[in-house]
Amino acid sequence: MLARHQDPIAAIATAPGRGAVGIVRVSSAQDLTPLIEQICGRALRPREAHYLPLRAANGDAIDHGLALHFPAPHSYTGEHVLELQAHGGPVVLQLLLARCLEAGAAVDALRHLRLAEPGEFTQRAFLNGKLDLAQAEAVSDLIDASTEAAARSASRALSGALSTEVGELRDGLINLRMLVEATLDFPEEEIDFLQQADALGKLRRIQARLEHVLDRTRQGALLREGIKVVLAGQPNVGKSSLLNALAGAELAIVTPIPGTTRDKVSQTIQIEGVPLHITDTAGLRETSDEVERIGVARSWDAIAEADVVLFLHDLTRIGETAYEAGDAEIRERLARVDPTRLLQVYNKADTSAELRTRQDLTLPEGAVQLSAKTGAGLAELRRELLAHAGWHAVPEGLFIARERHVQALRRTAEHLALALAQVEVEPPALDLMAEELRLAHDALGEITGAFSADDLLGEIFSRFCIGK
């Protein structure tokens, strides 16, 4: 995509389908006045909406609508931009798009006008310095936001909140790098010089600030990606009932017949604005039924990919030999799952007061006891779900983030830790410290796009919608 970023581009900028209004957008590094005059019949005053006929090549009106001209650099892409706002019928918009391409072909400077690729308008905004890479990604995240909290956080990132945090870290690193590298020129004075300049104090303050930003970024990534939760356990322990209770709707069939659920049933819910992608799975057991066996295999696949696994138990069957044996088999296989991802849930607490007060009934530490039937204990389960996924409220507010941002910040933290180790040895290895600081600086630059490979840019923008 980057190889053709000088070509003029055009696309329908509104979602597919019928609507009251649709937009066709053109962006070009070359002057668009000749194309505007062909379509609109006259020049347009910059940044003013003009109501007029949008004309075909023979002069007939394709539609009547608004035309806006944004001369460079005062536009979304930083190039010359034309936006045509017409009635939102698919045929009308396709006719307008075709007319733009036709008119461009008739102008020598615009003869390479072509259809835009996914995300190419935002990519040009990035390449022309209108947005950094974190802000450009926030555009897509704002469009795709599935919760109100995610939308607010994406808007905060788009306004530059994450970029500002990264920029302040980068400025601190630059200052420290200059100090250390200047010190390398005076080896006989390096220790006194670093002590007077409080180099170690500066490094530790950067590390503390980085940890704070990393925490907020992890929370933002949870808002964007959501949490994958899998309900696992033997047949008839109440997995489908729990899914229905959490979702507030009858999504899964509930019967006393073992093996009712034979395939995955998924639903996305919100807890404190965080999306949770909950999957009900087939009961885990040995079976001769071919269909159910496939469902059980899919259950284990889902468990392997989950962020949190709810291991459900039936309180009414505790003490039964066959049931305990089945739970032991599942527990042995779940031993491969990271303990921080596993949450023990004991269902059917509504059965009887006698059961709840049994002296021999000892639940594992951190287990949740609830009733999917009555809803008792669901509030505690929701809190535990968020805690297991690493969610906690951040007073300063979140900015939407991606996993690549989290990984870049973690690499930065690793290089800063190595830099600190180099200066704490005797004698200090300042040349190695300087190299670790440089690598930390580069890792930070990946977030905003200061250091980004072309293939990374292509991967990021290809996930955008066409016209954005």
Does pLDDT of 270 surpass 90? no
The reply to whether 232 and 346 lie within a common domain is: yes
pLDDT digits (tens, 9 = 90+) for 192-209: 656 766 788 889 999 999
If you write DSSP's letter for every residue of 318-344 in order, what string do you get? TT-HHHHHHHHHHHHHHTTS-GGGEEE
Query: Which of the pair, 106 or 187, is modelled with greater confidence?
Result: 106
Query: Which residues have C-beta within 8 Å of that of residue 343, sequence separation ≥ 6?
Result: 308, 309, 310, 311, 366, 367, 368, 384, 385, 388
Residue 85's identity, in one-letter code, is Q
Q: Which residues are annotated as a binding site for (6S)-5-formyl-5,6,7,8-tetrahydrofolate?
A: 25, 83, 130, 468
How far is the C-alpha of 411 from the C-alpha of 12, rounded, in Å?
A: 39
Q: Establish whether the linkage from the previous residue to 90 is cis, with ω within 30° of 0.
A: no
CATH number at residue 79: 3.30.1360.120
The reply to whether 455 and 367 lie within a common domain is: no
The reply to whether 178 and 270 lie within a common domain is: no
| Residue 276, in any domain of the structure | yes
Q: Which residues are annotated as a binding site for GTP?
A: 236-241, 255-261, 280-283, 347-350
The reply to whether 260 and 165 lie within a common domain is: no
Q: Which domain holds residue 242?
A: 226-388
Q: What is the pLDDT of residue 407?
A: 92
- The SS3 assignment for 414 reads helix
Q: What is the mean pLDDT of residues 19-32?
A: 95
The reply to whether 108 and 188 lie within a common domain is: no
**In the listed set 131, 148, 179, which residue is the last one of a domain according to the structure?**
131
Q: HEC string of 62-113?
A: EEEEEEEEECCCCCCCCCEEEEEEEEECHHHHHHHHHHHHHHHHCCHHHCCC
Find the range with the poorest average confidence among 42-46, 243-247, 444-448: 243-247
How far is the C-alpha of 282 from the C-alpha of 292, rounded, in Å?
A: 7
- The SS3 assignment for 203 reads helix
| Residue 42, in any domain of the structure | yes
Q: What is the DSSP letter of 46?
A: B
The reply to whether 26 and 125 lie within a common domain is: yes
pLDDT digits (tens, 9 = 90+) for 113-159: 999 999 899 999 999 999 998 998 888 888 888 778 788 888 888 88
Q: Which of 418, 415, 430 is nearest to 183 (CA)?
A: 430
| Residue 468, in any domain of the structure | no
The reply to whether 211 and 236 lie within a common domain is: no
Q: Which residues are annotated as a binding site?
A: 25, 83, 130, 236-241, 255-261, 280-283, 347-350, 468
Q: Which residues are annotated as a binding site for K(+)?
A: 236, 255, 257, 260
Assess contact for 144 and 394: CB atoms under 8 A: no
Q: What is the pLDDT of residue 336?
A: 81
| Residue 244, in any domain of the structure | yes
**In the listed set 364, 388, 412, which residue is the last one of a domain according to the structure?**
388
Q: Which of 354, 359, 356 is nearest to 370 (CA)?
A: 356
Query: Which of the pair, 9 or 223, is modelled with greater confidence?
Result: 9
The reply to whether 6 and 72 lie within a common domain is: yes
Question: Tokens standing for 178?
Answer: 């200059």
pTM of the shown model: 0.74
Assess contact for 227 and 307: CB atoms under 8 A: yes
pLDDT digits (tens, 9 = 90+) for 302-353: 888 888 889 999 988 888 888 888 888 888 888 887 888 889 999 988 875 5
The reply to whether 276 and 208 lie within a common domain is: no
Query: Which of the pair, 153 or 436, is modelled with greater confidence?
Result: 436
Residue listed under structure tokens 């190595």 = 418
pLDDT digits (tens, 9 = 90+) for 68-86: 999 999 999 999 999 999 9
The reply to whether 353 and 237 lie within a common domain is: yes
73 torsion bin: left (phi>0), alpha (psi -120 to 50), beta (else): alpha
How far is the C-alpha of 241 from the C-alpha of 247, rounded, in Å?
A: 10
The reply to whether 265 and 317 lie within a common domain is: yes
| Residue 454, in any domain of the structure | yes
| Residue 466, in any domain of the structure | no
If you write DSSP's letter for every residue of 127-168 in order, what string do you get? HTTSS-HHHHHHHHHHHH--SHHHHHHHHHHHTTHHHHHHHH
Assess contact for 294 and 198: CB atoms under 8 A: no
Query: Which residues have C-beta within 8 Å of that of residue 412, sequence separation ≥ 6?
Result: 169, 210, 440, 443, 444
The reply to whether 258 and 376 lie within a common domain is: yes
**In the listed set 361, 388, 415, which residue is the last one of a domain according to the structure?**
388
Strands, E, within 233-273: which ranges? 265-271
Residue listed under structure tokens 């002057």 = 31
Per-residue pLDDT band for 3 (boundaries 50, 70, 90) equals very low
Count CB neighbours of 189 within 10 A.
Answer: 11
How far is the C-alpha of 190 from the C-alpha of 468, rounded, in Å?
A: 52
CATH number at residue 215: 1.20.120.430
> What's the number of domains the chain is made of?
3
Q: What is the pLDDT of residue 24?
A: 96
Q: Which residues are annotated as a binding site for Mg(2+)?
A: 240, 261
| Residue 13, in any domain of the structure | yes
How far is the C-alpha of 153 from the C-alpha of 161, rounded, in Å?
A: 9
Count CB neighbours of 355 within 10 A.
Answer: 14
How far is the C-alpha of 118 from the C-alpha of 446, rounded, in Å?
A: 21
| Residue 422, in any domain of the structure | yes
